[in-house]
Structure 1
Amino acid sequence: MTSLPDDTLLDDAARISAADPEGLLRAAAGAGAQVRATADAAREAGLDRLTGLRPRALVLVTSPGLGPAVAGLLAALLPACPVPVLLADEVPGWIGPLDVVVAHTDDPGDRLLARGVDRAGRRGAAVVLTAPAEGPVAAAAAGNAVLVAPRMPVRPGFGFATAYTAGLLALSALGLLRVDLDAMADELDREAERAHPNHESFVNPAKALALRLAEHTPLLWGLDPVATAVAGNAAQALATHTDLVCDVADYQQAMSRTALHRAAVRATSGGDIFADPDDFDGPATAPPRVLLLAVRADPGDPARRLAAETLPGADLIDPAEEITAADEPTRAAVLALRFDLAALYLGLAAGTAGGSGRYAPATA
C-alpha cells in the first residue's frame, strides 16, 4: 500500500527534485511537446496516405505496455464509427488490403508485433506504427508501414502522448474523427505547468490527486466510455510508479460488483459529519477512494446523476469543468496526464517510482 511518509514532502520542491534524479516528472510533463513532434514526424512519414481510405476494418493492436490503454481510448472516441473497430492482442490472420492497422510499442524487439506488421504489409494493409526507429519491429515496418519514430527522446512507458497522437492522426486521415492537435498540445502544456513541482498541492491538481490516492484503494469508475478508457491508462500509470492496486470499470459495471459497490457507498456516505472520512469498517487493507471520471460534457447523463446520488462523497474529476472549450480527445489527454503526474508524485514520495529511493531527510 503506497503511503506518504509525510504529506508535506510533495510541497518541498527541493526534496522532490532530489527524489527524481532520473527526471521522471520532466519526462511526463513533455506530453505537449510529444504531440507536436509526433504530428511533424507523422507528416514526414507519409501518414496522409490514409486520407480518403474507407477500410473494411480498423484494427487497434493492444501490444504490452501502453498499447491497451491507447487502443481502448481511440476506440472509445468512436462511439458511432461507420467502420468496424477491433481491439486485438496481435495483428489478426485475416488481415488484408482493405484493412487499417494502428499499433504502438516501446519494445523494439517485440517479435509478435514484428511478425504481424510484416504480415499486414505483405498483404497490402495500411499500417500506422509508433515504435523505436531500430530493431525487428522497425525492420518489419520498412517499406510496409507508416513508421512514426519519436523525434524527441521518450523514456519507455512515457510515450502515451506519442502513441495517442499518431492514432488520432490516423483516425483523422480516415475521416473518422476531428481533432485540434495544436490546441491539445497547448492544453497539455498548461496542465504540466499547473502540476509543476514548485506549485503547492492546493493549486497543483496532480499533487492534490496524489494526496487523495495515498493510503487508499482507488476505485476509478468512468461515467462515460472515454473516461473509463482513461481510467485504464491511470491504472497502468499507478501500477508503473506505485504499488497501488485499483479497480477500473464504467459505473454501470461497477454497480454489478455488489460487495465492492457497497463498500464504496459506505466510504462515501458521510452519514456522520464528525467522522473521519478515511475511516472504513471493512475487510480491505486500505479504505476505498471513489473517483468518478467524466470526459464527455453531459451533466444530465442518467449514469452521472445516479452516481452522484448513490456516492455523494465521491471525488468527481471532470476536465470539462476546467477547460470548457476543449474537444473530447483533448480533455481525455489532459486527464491522462494528470493521473500520470499524480502517480509519479506518489511513487517518488513512497520510493516506488524509477530507481530512486525515498526522499532524503529534510535538513535544517
Structure 2
Amino acid sequence: MPDDTLLDDARRLADADPDGLLRAAAGAGAQVRATAEAAREAGLDRLEGLRPRALVLLTRPGAAQAAPGVLAALLGPGCPVPVVRADEVPTWVGPLDVVVGHTDDPGDHVLAAGVDRAVRRGSAVVLTAPPEGPVAAAASGGAVLVVPRLPVPPGFTFPTALTAGLLALSTLGLLRVDPEVLADELDREAERAHPDHESFVNPAKALALRLAERTPLLWGLDPVATAVAARAAQALGTFTDLVCDVADYQQALSRPALHRAAVRAGSASDIFADPDDLDAPSAAPPRVLLLAVRSEPGDPLRRLAADRLPGADLVDPAEELTADEVTRAAVLALRFDLAALYLGLAAGTTGGSGRYAPATA
C-alpha cells in the first residue's frame, strides 16, 4: 500500500530516492537537447532529400520499446511513405529504404546482424546505441550512429529514442519537429511536477494518487494517445507493481465484461449511486484513464466515452498547454514516467538502497 503522505514531504521523498531517479526522469528535456546535438554531429543531414521506398521503424526490447509506435502514430495513415514496424530488420531492405532504430543493449546480436545487412545493401540507417559493442561495430560501416551523451539510469532512455526518431522523420520531411521547443516544454512539465510542489498542483503526483491501489485501464481516444499508453504501461511496470490494460477505446468497447467492470467502478464514486446496485469491490478495482493527444472539438469517440464512463479520468495535455501534437505526446509520456516514479517511491517498489534493480534494457 503506498504511503501517500510521502508524496507531499520533500525531505522524505529525497530519502526514498537516494539514486536521484526523479531527477533523472525530469531531465527529459536535457536528453532531447543532447540527442539533437549528437544527431547533428553524427551527420543526420545526409537523409535530407531522400524519399524512401519504405520507412522501417525497429522495435527492440527495452525501456524505449514504445517509441516506434508513437512515431508511427504521429505519422498517421496520411504519411506519403509506407511505414513498417518490425522487431528485426526485414530481409527485403535495400538501397531505397530507411531504417530507424534504438537499443540500450550494445550486445544486441539480432540488431547488429540486421544493421550490418541493411548497411551492406545500401539502406540509410539511423541508429541510437551505445558507442561500443557489436551494434556500434555494425553501424560503423555507414549508418548514422547517434550515441547518447547524457548518462541516465536503466529505464529512462525513452526521450532519447523518441527524439532521435523524430529528428530522422523531420530530416526526411515527414514531420515538423523543433527540438528546442520540445525540450523547453518538457522542462516546464518537469517543473510543474517538481517534488516540492504539493499534489493538488502537481500533475504527476495527482496522477499517481489516482492510480494508487487500482488496476489502471489506459484507454486511448486517438492513435497517438494509445501509443503513449504503451509507454505509460512500461513505466508503471518498471517502477511499480501495477498491471495495466492498454487499448484504444473502440477496442475496449469490444470487451464488454471489462467495460462493465469499469463502468461499475466509476459509478461507485457517484454519491447518488444506489449501493445495492454495486458489487463488492475487488482487491484492486479498475480505474479508467482516457488518454488524448489529438484534441478535436466534437470528437464523437470522446463524447461516447464520456457518456458511458462518467467516472473516468481524462488525461489530455491540450487542456493545460498550447503545443503541437508531437510535444503533447512527449509531455504525456513524461507525466506518466514521473507519476510511476512517485507511486513506486510511495509504495516502496522502487528507490531506496539497492531496491531499484530493473532488468537490463
Name the TM-score, length of structure 1 as normaliser: 0.93
Give the counterpart letter for 1:126 in structure 2: A
Percent identity of paired positions between Structure 1 and Structure 2: 81
Deviation at 1:265, TM superposition (A): 1.1
Specify whether residues 136 and 200 from structure 1 end up closer, same or farther in structure 2 by C-alpha distance, changes over 3 A only.
same
Does structure 2 conserve the Cα–Cα contact (< 8 Å) formed by 1:128 and 1:145?
A: yes
What is the 5 A alignment of 1:181-192?
181-192=179-190
Specify whether residues 341 and 271 from structure 1 end up closer, same or farther in structure 2 by C-alpha distance, changes over 3 A only.
closer
Give deviations 1:85-131, integer Å, cap 9, x for gaps.
Answer: 11101111111111111111111111111111111111110111111
Over 6 Å off, 4+ runs: none
What is the 5 A alignment of 1:161-310?
161-269=159-267, 272-273=270-271, 281=279, 284-310=282-308
Counterpart in 2 of 1:90? Answer: 88
Deviation at 1:154, TM superposition (A): 2.2
Calculate the aligned-residue CA RMSD, in Å: 1.8
Deviation at 1:276, TM superposition (A): 11
Task: Report the Cα distance in structure 2 between the residues aligned to 1:26 and 1:241, rounded to whole angstroms.
Answer: 14
Task: Report the Cα distance in structure 2 between the residues aligned to 1:142 and 1:215, rounded to whole angstroms.
Answer: 48
Task: Report the Cα distance in structure 2 between the residues aligned to 1:228 and 1:304, rounded to whole angstroms.
Answer: 13
Deviates more, 1:348-357 or 1:218-227: 348-357
Task: Tell me the secondary structure at the aligned position of residue 219 of structure 2.
Answer: strand
Task: Report the Cα distance in structure 1 between the residues aligned to 2:60 and 2:274, rounded to whole angstroms.
Answer: 43
Task: Report the Cα distance in structure 1 between the residues aligned to 2:97 and 2:230, rounded to whole angstroms.
Answer: 26
Deviation at 1:168, TM superposition (A): 0.4
Counterpart in 1 of 2:17? Answer: 20
Structure 2, gaps ≥5 residues long: 356-361
Deviates more, 1:260-269 or 1:233-242: 260-269
Task: Report the Cα distance in structure 2 between the residues aligned to 1:271 and 1:216, rounded to whole angstroms.
Answer: 13
Give the counterpart letter for 2:19 in structure 1: E
Specify whether residues 243 and 133 from structure 1 end up closer, same or farther in structure 2 by C-alpha distance, changes over 3 A only.
same
Give the counterpart letter for 1:251 in structure 2: Y
Task: Tell me the secondary structure at the aligned position of residue 147 of structure 1.
Answer: strand
Counterpart in 2 of 1:341? Answer: 338
Deviation at 1:66, TM superposition (A): 3.2
Task: Tell me the secondary structure at the aligned position of residue 65 of structure 2.
Answer: helix
Give the counterpart letter for 1:154 in structure 2: V
Task: Report the Cα distance in structure 2 between the residues aligned to 1:346 and 1:257, rounded to whole angstroms.
Answer: 28
Counterpart in 2 of 1:362? Answer: none
Deviates more, 1:246-255 or 1:133-142: 133-142
Task: Report the Cα distance in structure 1 between the residues aligned to 2:122 and 2:283, rounded to whole angstroms.
Answer: 52
Task: Report the Cα distance in structure 2 between the residues aligned to 1:257 and 1:7, rounded to whole angstroms.
Answer: 33
**Count of residue pairs brought into register by the alignment:** 353
Task: Tell me the secondary structure at the aligned position of residue 263 of structure 2.
Answer: helix
**Aligned with residue 42 of structure 2, among 18, 41, 45:** 45
Task: Tell me the secondary structure at the aligned position of residue 217 of structure 2.
Answer: strand
Give the counterpart letter for 1:181 in structure 2: P
Deviates more, 1:55-64 or 1:282-291: 282-291
Specify whether residues 7 and 274 from structure 1 end up closer, same or farther in structure 2 by C-alpha distance, changes over 3 A only.
farther
Specify whether residues 271 and 104 from structure 1 end up closer, same or farther in structure 2 by C-alpha distance, changes over 3 A only.
closer
